[in-house]
Amino acid sequence: MRSKIVAGNWKMNKTLNESKELANELKTVVSGLTLENTRVIVAPTFVNLTGVSETVEGSVIEVAAQNMHQAESGAYTGEISGEMLKGIGLNSVILGHSERRAYFGEDDALLASKVDAALKNNLEVIFCFGEELEDRKSGNHFNVVGSQVKNGLFHLEASAWKNIVLAYEPVWAIGTGETASAEQAQEMHAFIRSIVEKQYDSGIADSVSILYGGSVKPANAEEIFSKPDVDGGLIGGAALKSEDFGAIIKAI
């Protein structure tokens, strides 16, 4: 059975103290829940990773990074390597977020190399992709998503897929308050699973968790999560408040 996952991407929000406070509140929230086959992940900014990891120690909450550099080490001022993330005890990294693609020029080829570097360092990859509004309006959304998944991941050997989580995040729904309908999410997730099956096999397609991201909030989480191919969510804005994130965890 594939895992259900609720992951919070805190982006460039919260100081160290604020991050620890939120992590502590979430620790209390999850301690009152029975989470069967469900993972809870938070992704604070780089400088707060250690503080948050220490805060959630002993709870089920996992900590992930929001990005990493593709090189092992070297003259890349301001960057962070996979080995460094592993070195502070992390096991997961988000790659390919639409903000990284749009504002930092991360294209498919670069992301494929980041995926390789992460896997080489035994980091699980939460790989994000999703179409823009024009793509959906013009009916090109399956092509766009299909090529992002293929170009970023289909060079991998089958055995690598146990460390891959997919996150479908339509760009038009991120931080806009506009959510894909549960049906739109289901349709795309089923499509993604079908192309993974075609490239690999049904075992991999059935076992990879596919998260939906884009304005998930307490009011819509349950409906979106009820769809058979939606295995949880990658949450932005609503991950910044423990009441909201807690309600979304409960929805799964």
Does residue 175 bind ligand PEP (CB under 6 A)? yes
Please state the closest distance from residue 136 (CB atom) to ligand PEP, in A: 16
| 227 known ligand binder | no
The residues, any chain, with a CB within 8 Å of residue 172's CB and separated by 6 or more, are 131, 132, 133, 136, 178, 214
Nearest to 167 by CA among 108, 111, 217, 208: 208
Q: Which of 62, 97, 124, 189 is catalytic?
A: 97
Quick one: 204 or 238, whose CB is closer to ligand PEP? 238
Q: Which of 62, 106, 124, 169 is catalytic?
A: 169
Does residue 216 bind ligand PEP (CB under 6 A)? yes
Please state the closest distance from residue 167 (CB atom) to ligand PEP, in A: 7
Does residue 235 bind ligand PEP (CB under 6 A)? yes
The token pair at 121 is 């360092």
Residue 179 and residue 218: Cα distance in Å, rounded? 12
Q: Which stretch binds ligand PEP (CB under 6 A): 38-46, 85-93, 183-191, 236-244?
A: 236-244
| 140 known ligand binder | no
DSSP for 142-209, please give it. Answer: HHHHHHHHHHHHTTS-GGGGGGEEEEE--GGGSSSS----HHHHHHHHHHHHHHHHHHS-HHHHHHS-
For this structure, is 155 an active site residue?
no
Cβ(80)–Cβ(68) below 8 Å: yes
Handedness of CA 66, 153, 249, 235 (dihedral sign): positive
- Taking CB positions, which residue lies at the least distance from ligand PEP? 236
The residues, any chain, with a CB within 8 Å of residue 225's CB and separated by 6 or more, are 4, 232, 233, 251, 252
Does residue 213 bind ligand PEP (CB under 6 A)? yes
The token pair at 12 is 């460039």
Does residue 221 bind ligand PEP (CB under 6 A)? no
Q: Which stretch binds ligand PEP (CB under 6 A): 27-35, 109-117, 142-150, 230-238?
A: 230-238
For this structure, is 189 an active site residue?
no
Q: If binding means CB under 6 A, how many residues of this protein chain bind ligand PEP?
A: 13
Residues in contact with ligand PEP by the rule CB under 6 A: 9, 169, 174-175, 213-216, 234-238
Residue positions in the annotated binding site for substrate? 9-11, 175, 215, 236-237
- Residues involved in catalysis: 97, 169
